[in-house]
Amino acid sequence: MKVILTERVKTLGNVGEIVNVSQGYARNYLLPNRFAVLADESNTKQLNHQQKVLAKKMEEQKATAVASAKKVEGITLEFVRRVAGSGKLFGTVSNLEIAKELEAQGVEVEKRMIVVANPIKAIGNFDVTAKLFEGVEANFKVNVTLDPAQAEEMKKKQEDADRKKAAAAEAAALAKENGETEEATSEVKELTEEEKLKEEANKILRS
């Protein structure tokens, strides 16, 4: 069912917007509370006569959106996450989390207004846009960093791996001198396979 909003409805839209909602939501909530009227021909004509009232409400809401945009524009939100062995995050930094972080900084932005070009599933910087009102947008960044505790764990594992690799190389060199080349080569190969499992962690630490 299509309705015309006569008030701003959170998660739905702004004054004057025509939105599609369920019949139950419209008849049990929007229409009785005068938050909307049916978007039929008669109401559309009636709405045209209320343009001055609606225009005033829209200007007030636009002014609020512009003020919010000034607070959001250019800021960087910080998120700390743990990663899997593949380097991907455990889960995604969601629009809801971004909205909550903005709220913590004193700016209320609904999650439906937040636009992320690609899902945030890795460590790094990401461009995000908040579409606050028609013609009013704010661009900001989300910076995802590796959990310090996990970074320390990965660093220790890499150091251990480096020590084992150095020891294996030294053992191989010694074995070669003593004519035990085949056995030493086997040992080096085994350790090298172990190193491959930690290669991704090493990449993350050095990025």
Q: Mean pLDDT throughout 109-131?
A: 93
Q: Mean pLDDT throughout 58-74?
A: 92
pLDDT over threshold 60, residue 81? yes
**pLDDT per residue over 154-192, tens digit each?**
677 677 667 778 777 777 777 777 765 554 455 455 545
Q: Is the pTM of this model over 0.75?
A: no
Q: Mean pLDDT throughout 22-46?
A: 83
pLDDT over threshold 80, residue 10? no
Confidence at residue 91, expressed as pLDDT on a 0 to 100 scale: 86
| CATH code given to domain 72-146 | 3.10.430.100
**How do beta strands 136-146 and 88-93 pair?**
unpaired
Sequence spans of domains, the chain: 2-49, 72-146, 149-206
Confidence at residue 103, expressed as pLDDT on a 0 to 100 scale: 94
DSSP code per residue over 119-175 = -EEESEEEEEEEEEETTEEEEEEEEEEE-HHHHHHHHHHHHHHHHHHHHHHHHHHHH
Q: Who wins on pLDDT, 144 or 205?
A: 144
- For residue 122, which of 77, 151, 82 has the smallest C-alpha distance? 82
DSSP code per residue over 41-91 = HHHHHHHHHTHHHHHHHHHHHHHHHHHHHHHHTT-EEEEEE-B-TTSEEEE
Fold of 2-49: Ribosomal Protein L9; domain 1 (3.40.5)
| Reported confidence tier of residue 61, pLDDT bands at 50, 70, 90 | confident
